[in-house]
Amino acid sequence: MLRISQSDYDLICWEAERSYPRECCGILLGRLTNGDRTVTLTLPCDNVRENPETRYSIRSEQVVAASKLARSRGEDIIGFYHSHPDHPPHYSETDLLEAYWFDCSYVITSVQQGNATMTESFVLKGSEDRKEFEQEEMEILGQSPLHPPLS
């Protein structure tokens, strides 16, 4: 299960809408406890892909900086997020091919005509030659009754 605060969840949705029609992307810091990931910090990143409307790529320098920050906080990189402009929040074949962080969450937010509509999370399992995504339940902590989750 992925546990994320309402404010971190809202930041991901805001980034997805702000970046539309390009894909946004970012890194999730936090803790892994008994197989559950708890997000403590959401780090928006630059999408440096040549075709940002349909793909994303995070600068290696941003990943290294996030890793150092996580270590200084006694945490880990526990996941990544990106958006799918005008597409469902399900992972693509390219998302799976380009995923390398095993046992991390991959959060995808669908943005339809500029509005974040649905978010799903997947965990990368297996090994490099036999990897797969498993759907992961998300719990939004401190969820406001006025702002239900986008799902």
CA distance 41 to 62: 14
State how far the Cα of 52 lies from the Cα of 55, in Å rounded to an integer.
5
Catalytic residue among 23, 50, 93, 139: 23
Answer yes or no: 15 catalytic.
no
| Amino acid occupying residue 90 | H
User: Which helix (H) or strand (E) is 71 found in, with range?
Assistant: helix 60-72
* Rounded CA separation 5/112 (Å): 23
Q: How many CA atoms lie within 13 A of 115 on its CB side?
A: 4
- Buried b / exposed e along 92-116 (16+ C-beta atoms within 10 A): eeebeeebeeeebbbbbbbbeeeeb
Question: Residues with catalytic annotation?
Answer: 23
